[in-house]
Amino acid sequence: MSLFDYLPRDVINYVIRPYISDNYFARVGLNSLLPPTDRQGTPLRRDAVKEFELSLAAARLKPLVERAVAPNDPQTKAKNIGEVFDFLIRDPLITQHQRQFRETVMNQARTFADPDYEGYKIVSVDESTALVERAQRLLDLMNQRPFLYQIATSLSNEKWSPIVGTALPTIVDNTQLLADARRARGRRGARRR
């Protein structure tokens, strides 16, 4: 039993509540003091749960994409691209509620599903076969689960789609680029000594 048990609900709703309308924590405190039957809930928006799930999915997907676009050797890049595809297979919600992202993923999955893709010449046969299978599985899943409708999320100021630009990474032979970067780091380290 609390002090508010002795006050009529009208006093609470029309006298006390207007004074705390802007203070979220005061509203929560007042609500917790009321008996359970009189507590007021704040209903969630229709897509609030999906928005939250999409924000989490985007946060998990972002580092995977960053690893896939990082200048790595072709084997590692193919493996990282496969991890992006695996994630999208496990968590298809992001491709059902963000049209531009879905189109980008579809285009890239079609490219990587082609066993004769030019980029596969510089990776092992096992890695290219695995990537073709993942891309085909992702395409099949996306065809089974069509685009539903667009949902903006709390990360909409970042456009929440973690892919910047119009395309996912392709498999590129960066061996020379990495060798040049190592030499440059070695020269900088030698100058500091």
pLDDT string in tens for the chain (193-residue length): 565 556 666 777 777 777 776 676 777 777 777 777 777 766 666 777 788 788 888 888 888 888 888 777 888 888 888 899 999 999 888 888 888 888 888 988 998 888 888 888 888 888 889 989 999 999 999 999 998 888 876 544 443 333 333 344 445 455 565 566 667 767 666 665 5
Identify whether residues 100 and 158 lie together within a single domain: yes
Together in a domain, 133 and 75 = yes
- CA–CA gap between residue 108 and residue 128 (Å, rounded): 14
97 and 54 in contact (C-beta within 8 Å)? yes
Distance CA 65, CA 59 (A): 11
58 and 25 share a domain? no
Note the pLDDT of residue 5.
58
21: containing domain: 3-38
Q: What pLDDT score was predicted for residue 166?
A: 39
Verify that 181 and 87 share a domain, yes or no: yes
Residue 43 lies in a domain: no
Do 14 and 100 fall into the same domain? no
Same-domain pairing of 89 and 173: yes
- Residue 33 shares a structural domain with residue 52: no
Residues 33 and 112 in one domain: no
What's the predicted TM-score (pTM) here?
0.60
According to DSSP H, which parts of the chain are helical?
9-11, 24-33, 48-69, 74-90, 93-96, 99-113, 125-144, 175-192
pLDDT, position 1:
57
Predicted pLDDT of residue 8: 67
Number of domains, the chain: 2
Give me the pLDDT at residue 83, please: 92
